[in-house]
Amino acid sequence: MSKTNQVSAGTLDSGNHIPVSKKNKKLFFFASLTTLLLVSAIVGVSVGVNSRKNSGDGPHNVHSRMAHAIVKSACSSTMYPDLCFSAIVTEPGFARKVSTRKDVIELSLNITIRAAQHNYFNVRKLQTRKGLTKREKIALHDCLETIDNTLDELHRAIADLEDSGHHADNLKTLISAAITNQETCLDGFSHDGADKHVREGLMDRQLHVERMCSNALAMIKNMTDSEVSMRNRKLTEVDEAADGVRWPEWISAGDRRLLQAPTVTPNVVVAADGSGNYRTVAEAVAAAPEGSSTRYVIRIKAGVYRENVEVTKKKTNIMFVGDGRTNTVITGNRNVVDGSTTFHSATVAVVGGRFLARDITFQNTAGPSKHQAVALRVGADLSAFYRCDVLAYQDSLYVHSNRQFFINCLIAGTVDFIFGDSAVVLQDCDIHARRPNSGQKNMVTAQGRVDPNQNTGIVIHNCRIGATQDLLAVKGSVETYLGRPWKEYSRTVIMKSEISDVIQPEGWFPWEGNFALNTLFYGEYQNTGPGAVTSARVNWKGFRVITSATEAQSFTPGNFIAGSSWLRSTGFPFALGL
């Protein structure tokens, strides 16, 4: 205040000569007046600002409040609303980017992409640690692959958001797969106690990305479900009437197996004897074009191919055609006991989208004592398998992620022999438990859904669940169950299938204690055979005998894997409905 008076007095002294007494009075008067005006101005500005704050008259402030409200509303549907809200509103300039719920989802996905990128470099850093075991090195490599896939899925989801009404199924599939990838990375460090130290270096960041993906998925589901429900009803009506590939009710299961898929002309031929373009399947895949929008057919002539084959995400629209499931065999023996991860143990691993295979056996011969040993791992979206055998023991078929379809296949194994977190339908297949090691129990399925909004699950439709000859010989001493909950929201549905008496009357088995018994979803609908009697089934909250055809219809290929939009293009037989 005193400094202001001094400045004001000096300014008012224009140099006119005034008597001292009068001059001092006038100086005091003008100084007081100036101070009063200045204070009033400051108070006025302060009151004006506070008034605009309280009344919301400031345009920037109004938009900011609206943006906060939109974010809070969108995040209210998520499993981690506090994380959802704080991650977005702390983003610099977020209010300028948010006008709709779709903006909230896009911003959330972009934030998640940055977090996943940080995780990728964190894994690269962990790879430089000294003293890593063979499996830890493999597991870190698995993490790099799954994080890379996650980044691709998140970028594609942002692109599909532009027309979310028509890409709702794709969006849910992409984010569901991204969630699964975070779990897969961490699962690679669950075999030995020593793995836990590396796992600790990954845990928080991986779970952060998983929860961010979970929030995005919940918001997407909330935004699109009502639109999709109306559209799907119309599509179902059209497909039921116009789909010429559906199985008519009067064709028996035996007759269906006699039907042939269309003849296809191969682009290249694989022959172990040198009579083709390549001697190994892996060589043919490596030479295939990347990002192909047209089908690239690799014919694999009769023979036993002892190799591990990987169809990476860049190798799209590839088709394997064998000379018959018993004649063309791709076999390997990677396993966890000998130092692999479950993910890496697969004899054949398929990630490139729209992969097709027919008339081939995929096999892992490691045996029941080697624990997890995968014959076939599938993470390829819109992939289908026809007249294929998948043979191993523990973890035979790893239906890892995305949308898949198996028709007229044989899957055989022991512990958790159909497992993973894809949206998969197995239709008109033979599913046989084998003889395990002494003291082991057989589990047909171990589904891995970790989030209730994921569109994933294992559906067994119009199949035959039984046992191989070696198990039948000791059936009374080995317990076999339809499945157990690998993850918290495990979901498996068995519909209109024949279940033999190899299955225990309880039907299902717990993973550990009460884990997931209230949150899982296990359903059975109109099954037949001595193992299908439900009167002695488990009494878990998550288990149900489905009695409604409408509810069962939601698990058919037409609805569960959006089959009406892509199964026809495979050339394989299929039924969209019940």
Q: Would you state the structure tokens that stand for residue 72, as one six-digit string?
A: 């809070």
The contacts of residue 66 (CB under 8 Å, 6+ apart) are none
HEC profile for 224-277?
HHHHHHHHHHHHHHHHHHHCCCCCCCCCCHHHHHHCCCCCCCCCEEECCCCCCC
Place of tokens 């599913």: 431
Task: Give the sign of the dihedral formed by CA 414, CA 559, CA 147, CA 72.
Answer: negative
Query: Is 395 noted as a catalytic residue in this protein?
Result: yes
User: CB of 218 within 8 A of CB of 161?
Assistant: no
The contacts of residue 10 (CB under 8 Å, 6+ apart) are none
Return d(Cα 213, Cα 86) in angstroms, integer. 15
Q: Spot the catalytic one: 160, 187, 195, 416.
A: 416
102: part of which helix (H) or strand (E)? helix 101-126
> What single letter denotes the amino acid at residue 255?
D
Q: Spot the catalytic one: 395, 421, 428, 451.
A: 395
Q: Would you state the structure tokens that stand for residue 559, as one six-digit string?
A: 């609805």
Strand 318-322 and strand 418-420: the pairing is unpaired
Residue 135, CA distances (Å) to 193, 334, 370 in order:
12, 12, 14
Place of tokens 């003008």: 30
- Give all strands of the β-sheet with 457-461 in edge-to-edge order: 268-270, 296-300, 318-322, 356-358, 383-386, 403-407, 423-427, 457-461, 491-495, 521-525, 543-545
Q: b/e string for 287-304 if b means 16 or more Cβ within 10 A? A: ebeeebeebbbbbbbebe
The contacts of residue 519 (CB under 8 Å, 6+ apart) are 452, 488, 489, 542
Q: What share of the chain is helix, strand, coil (3-state, %, to 5)?
A: 40, 20, 40
Query: Is 416 noted as a catalytic residue in this protein?
Result: yes
Active site residues: 395, 416
